[in-house]
């Protein structure tokens, strides 16, 4: 296999085929750098606009007279369901048409809705704007991955996906820091309007920098209805085990991020600011290191020709299960935080591997759709049910006067991280077998 080709699977015809690539369309030099920087900014502002209501929640509640339940509806289940389910049709549009057009349209939509949220005078109007944000952001990752597949050579795609994913920890840090500062000084409405306005500039960059992205030639594979095509992908044992692993990741990651800070405060007596500083900085650093290291490592795994493209994250998740279990019962707060670091690393490290492996299995013209299915797996059930399970276990333990109730509830995290590691090991073997059959 040459550097400008990639082994992929034709899901219609069964046996894997070597699908041709188009090296003359791949960008290099400054153009490659400019596209990657644009994608990082796009993902960062997607994350900023998503989390602004978290850091501005108290100001929004006081101004609009909202309850915690209403705030939960704005930022929780409704957003997750809308975001996850709408990603599939938007991904299909990116695969079949111009990913640049889909990406720019999505940026314009979520930025406009974020800005309009700053003018909302009631719960209903604010909720409608948040649905609009979810609608726009649902297409960002699939369209970004489709753009990477069209513009960037296969030997650099893992790193490109990792850099794109790096926008998430960067956006989280900037969103919490800048959003909180602007909210305190100028008000929550100014913070949201300002974020939406900057999003308009990002949309302009996303339109200009990548350049034209011609549609792929229509074939039987990419003309198939997206629901039928999705079922066909999930019928592949390799993709199915990857999808199962994504579901397990969602059940592990959502409680990890939702309850780690409260656990450290309740169990070890840290203040909110201490936890925010330590946990926030470590998470940001591990997010950047994980996405960059994971992307580069994935490229090397692909270029090795073995087809084993999920072994490293599988092993890391197995390690994370042990360290997280120990963190929940560590006698000292500093030790507990240190033992949570592998978890922070594993969730970000996994991103380029999961998406990159999904692209290999799905094949040319289905990268965005494959990304969307992975997002649905990790973003729908886990975030909706994982924190609920932890909360119920914690409340039950507290009612029974069992100490460290929240720590007991958080045992959900190591359980699902070890299940993720096992699923990824199985997917690793399945994908290797699939890619070896030319």
Are both 60 and 162 inside the same structural domain?
Answer: yes
144-182 residues labelled b (16+ CB within 10 A) or e (exposed): bbbbbbbbbbbbbbbbbbbbbbbbbbbbbbbbbebbbeb
Average pLDDT over the chain, rounded to an integer: 85
The domain boundary, picked from 195, 216, 237, lies at: 216
Query: What is the structure's pLDDT at 37?
Result: 95
Contact 255, 412 (CB under 8 A): yes
String of DSSP letters for 180-236:
HHHHHHH-HHHHHHHHHHHHHHHHHHHHHSS---PPPPP-HHHHS-HHHHHHHHHHS
Same domain? 78 vs 34: yes
Q: Are residues 269 and 376 in the same domain?
A: yes
Residue 4 resides in a domain: no
pLDDT of residue 251: 94
Give 38 or 175, the one with higher predicted confidence. 38
Q: What is the pLDDT of residue 76?
A: 64
Confidence of residue 401 (pLDDT cuts 50, 70, 90): confident
Whether residue 422 is found in the same domain as residue 317: yes
Does one domain contain both 150 and 278? no
Establish if 13 belongs to a structural domain: no
| Residue 219 scores a pLDDT above 60 | no
Tell me, yes or no, whether 335 and 409 share the same domain. Answer: yes
Same domain, 194 and 93: yes
Q: Provide φ and ψ at 17, rounded to 5°.
A: -125, 155
Closest CA to 52 of 146, 159, 151, 181: 181
- pTM for the whole structure: 0.79
Over 60: is that where the pLDDT of 24 sits? no
Q: Which of 174, 201, 216 is the last residue of a domain?
A: 216
Q: Are residues 176 and 234 in the same domain?
A: no
Could you report the per-residue pLDDT of 340-364, keeping only the tens digit for each? Answer: 999 999 999 999 999 999 999 988 7
Q: What is the pLDDT of residue 319?
A: 97
Looking up tokens 């960067």, which residue turns up?
A: 170
> Are 158 and 239 in a shared domain?
no
**130 is in which domain, residue-wise?**
23-216
Q: Total structural domains in the chain?
A: 2
**What CATH number corresponds to the domain at position 179?**
1.20.1250.20
pLDDT at position 11 over 50: no
pLDDT value of residue 12: 39
Which of the two residues, 422 and 214, has the higher pLDDT score? 422
Terminal-to-terminal C-alpha distance of the chain: 11
- Note whether 212 and 228 are same-domain residues: no
Measuring CA to CA, which residue among 24, 39, 48, 316 is closest to residue 150?
24
Query: Which residue, of 199, 216, 233, is where some domain finishes?
Result: 216
Indicate the pLDDT class of residue 389, thresholds 50, 70 and 90: confident
Identify which of 403, 302, 311, 294 has the alpha carbon closest to the alpha carbon of residue 350: 294
Task: Let me know: does 194 contact 20? Beta carbons within 8 Å.
Answer: no
Contact 286, 305 (CB under 8 A): no
Q: Which residues pair with 7 in a beta bridge?
A: 18
- Report the C-alpha gap between 233 and 240 in whole angstroms: 8
Which residue has tokens 């704005």? 74
Over residues 392-407, the mean pLDDT reads 86
pLDDT band at 17 (very low <50, low <70, confident <90, very high): very low
pLDDT tens, residue by residue, 221-278: 556 677 788 888 999 999 999 999 999 999 999 888 878 878 888 888 887 667 767 7
* Residue 339 CB partners (closer than 8 Å, separation 6+): 323, 324, 326, 327, 330
């Amino acid at each position: 296999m040459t550097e400008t080709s990639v082994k992929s699977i034709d899901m219609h015809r069964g046996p894997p085929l070597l699908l041709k690539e188009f090296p003359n369309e791949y960008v290099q030099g400054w153009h490659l750098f400019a596209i990657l920087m644009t994608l990082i900014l796009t993902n960062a502002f997607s994350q900023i606009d998503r989390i602004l209501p978290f850091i501005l929640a108290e100001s929004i509640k006081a101004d609009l007279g909202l309850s915690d339940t209403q705030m939960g509806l704005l930022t929780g289940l409704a957003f997750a369901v809308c975001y996850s389910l709408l990603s599939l049709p938007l991904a299909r549009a990116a695969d079949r048409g111009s990913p640049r057009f889909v990406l720019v349209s999505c940026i314009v939509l979520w930025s406009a809705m974020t800005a309009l949220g700053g003018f909302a005078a009631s719960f209903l109007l604010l909720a409608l704007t948040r649905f609009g944000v979810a609608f726009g952001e649902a297409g960002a990752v699939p369209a970004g991955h489709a753009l990477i597949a069209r513009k960037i050579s296969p030997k650099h795609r893992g790193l490109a996906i990792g850099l794109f994913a790096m926008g998430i920890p960067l956006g989280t840090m900037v969103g919490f820091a800048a959003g909180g500062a602007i909210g305190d000084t100028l008000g929550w409405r100014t913070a949201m309007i300002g974020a939406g306005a900057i999003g308009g500039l990002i949309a302009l960059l996303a339109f200009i920098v990548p350049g034209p992205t011609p549609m792929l030639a229509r074939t039987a594979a990419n003309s198939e209805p997206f629901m039928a095509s999705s079922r066909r992908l999930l019928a592949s044992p390799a993709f199915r085990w990857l999808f199962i692993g994504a579901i397990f990741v969602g059940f592990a990651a959502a409680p990890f991020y939702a309850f780690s800070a409260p656990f450290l405060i309740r169990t070890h007596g840290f203040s909110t600011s201490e936890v925010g500083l330590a946990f926030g900085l470590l998470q940001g650093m591990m997010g950047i290191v994980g996405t960059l290291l994971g992307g580069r490592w994935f490229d090397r795994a692909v270029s090795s020709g073995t087809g084993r493209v999920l072994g490293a994250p599988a092993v890391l998740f197995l390690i994370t299960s042990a360290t997280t279990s120990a963190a929940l019962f560590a006698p000292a707060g500093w030790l507990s935080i240190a033992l949570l670091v592998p978890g922070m690393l594993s969730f970000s490290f996994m991103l380029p591997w999961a998406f990159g492996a999904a692209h290999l299995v799905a094949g040319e013209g289905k990268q965005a759709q494959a990304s969307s299915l992975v997002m649905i797996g990790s973003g729908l059930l886990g975030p909706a049910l994982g924190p609920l399970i932890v909360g119920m276990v914690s409340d039950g333990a507290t009612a029974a006067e069992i100490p460290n109730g929240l720590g007991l509830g958080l045992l959900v995290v190591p359980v699902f991280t070890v299940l993720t590691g096992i699923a990824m090991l199985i997917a690793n073997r399945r994908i290797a077998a699939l890619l070896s059959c030319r």
